[in-house]
């Protein structure tokens, strides 16, 4: 780790790979001998054409996407998608299924309701404060899509296996675990991810959409709320968030060329999460909040014996160069977000600190 950099456990905006930051720094003032910063080049220039097309190509190679999938870059974050999805895909007489596993699922359901779109909440883990992922869900065979949130940053849960929907296309908010593991992409009609957690800085949402879903988009929507607008113009109907897309391109390059792909990334992520969960399972001082079979590999949520100790823990960790360990304001406690870019050394450092803190306060 660079001398002045902390181990950044923030949930988002979150840590980025150091080699990516160094490449940005090196080329920031004069990108590709253009005489301009990447923040200054025109989105209509050959330089940016190369950026966005390479980001798309690398995304497709990493996920094994064929030509029936289109990769888009939109603004408005994942939260904008909560409304755009039912607007684009649910016409008169159509309905969709939703699985409620926490805050972001709840927000997605709320937008469908505001729009007056027919939807069914076919499963929920709200009965136990979203501490688990529901199983054995009965999806409606005539649903246009089944919406899930693949990883829940606030509650620390994650779908270990994606549900069997009987052929209904899955639409998944993957903001916080996108590119952390391989996917069986054939199950998905659409994947979307706000970049700021696992693949880049804030300001852009990546959307991967299958051609049969794209064909459902009606021409009656405002242009900027229609997925076809972005697909027809390679995400450049208007000026896109160029810098954020550039950063995503470099993260995809890092994943592909340095990490070695998503199988290798998943192995690394399982190792990191295992170190932390195994330690907590061996002590009564730290208690993971999610059920074991639903635990997230990205966001490890836990409690200490008292709220006062939690505050002391967060403060002491920050003094030792570990930031962002405060739990979400809606639930309290502690949370270590250990996304792709978090090195294993960061987890080892955290575990050693946790051992010392328990000795002093246990």
**Where in the sequence numbering do the catalytic residues fall?**
104, 173, 197
Measured in degrees and rounded to the nearest 5, phi and psi for residue 26 equal -65, -35
Of 332, 337, 299, 294, nearest to 125 by C-alpha is 294
Quick check: bond before 13 cis, omega within 30?
yes
Measured in degrees and rounded to the nearest 5, phi and psi for residue 227 equal -60, -30
Q: Helices in 115-241 by DSSP H: which ranges?
A: 211-214, 227-232
- Cα–Cα distances in angstroms (integers) from residue 124 to residues 192, 195, 301, in the given order: 21, 26, 20
Tokens of 153: 């940053």
CA angle, residues 299, 204, 164, in degrees to nearest 5: 55
Tokens of 91: 């016409």
Q: Which residues, listed in sequence order, are joined to residue 300 by a DSSP beta bridge? A: 336
For the chain, the first-to-last Cα distance in angstroms comes to 30
Number of residues that this document lists for the chain = 362
Given the structure tokens 């008292």, which residue do they identify? 306
DSSP 3-state of 220:
coil
Annotate 75-102 with b (16+ C-beta within 10 A) or e (fewer).
ebbbbbbbbbbbbbbbeeebbbbbbbbb
What is residue 101's DSSP assignment?
Answer: -
């Amino acid at each position: 780790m660079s001398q002045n950099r902390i181990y950044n456990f923030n949930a988002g905006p979150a840590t980025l790979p150091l080699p990516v930051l160094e490449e940005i720094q090196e080329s920031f003032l004069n990108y590709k001998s253009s005489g301009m910063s990447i923040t200054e080049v025109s989105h209509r220039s050959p330089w940016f054409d190369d950026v966005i097309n390479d980001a798309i190509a690398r995304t497709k190679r990493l996920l094994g996407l064929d030509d029936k999938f289109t990769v888009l870059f939109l603004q408005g974050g994942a939260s904008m998608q909560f409304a755009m999805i039912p607007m684009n895909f649910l016409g008169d007489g159509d309905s969709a299924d939703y699985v409620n596993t926490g805050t972001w699922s709840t927000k997605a359901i709320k937008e469908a309701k505001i729009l007056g779109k027919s939807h069914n909440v076919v499963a929920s883990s709200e009965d136990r404060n979203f501490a688990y992922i529901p199983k054995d869900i009965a999806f409606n065979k005539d649903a246009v899509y089944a919406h899930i949130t693949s990883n829940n940053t606030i509650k620390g849960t994650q779908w270990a296996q994606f549900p069997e929907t009987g052929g209904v296309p899955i639409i998944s908010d993957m903001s916080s675990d996108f590119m952390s593991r391989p996917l069986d992409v054939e199950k998905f009609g659409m994947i979307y991810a706000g970049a700021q957690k696992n693949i880049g800085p804030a300001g852009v949402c990546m959307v991967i959409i299958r051609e049969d879903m794209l064909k459902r988009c009606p021409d009656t929507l405002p242009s900027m709320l229609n997925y076809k607008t972005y697909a027809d113009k390679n995400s450049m109907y208007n000026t896109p968030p160029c810098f954020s897309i550039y950063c995503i391109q470099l993260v995809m390059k890092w994943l592909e060329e340095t990490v070695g792909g998503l199988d290798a990334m998943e192995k690394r992520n399982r190792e990191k999460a295992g170190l932390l969960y195994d330690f907590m399972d061996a002590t009564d001082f730290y208690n993971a909040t999610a059920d074991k079979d639903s635990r997230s590999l990205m966001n490890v949520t836990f409690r200490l014996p008292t709220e006062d100790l939690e505050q002391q823990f967060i403060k002491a960790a920050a003094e030792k160069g570990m930031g962002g360990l405060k739990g979400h304001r809606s639930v309290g406690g502690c949370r270590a977000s250990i996304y792709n870019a978090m090195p294993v050394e960061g987890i080892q450092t955290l575990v050693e600190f946790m051992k010392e803190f328990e000795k002093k306060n246990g």
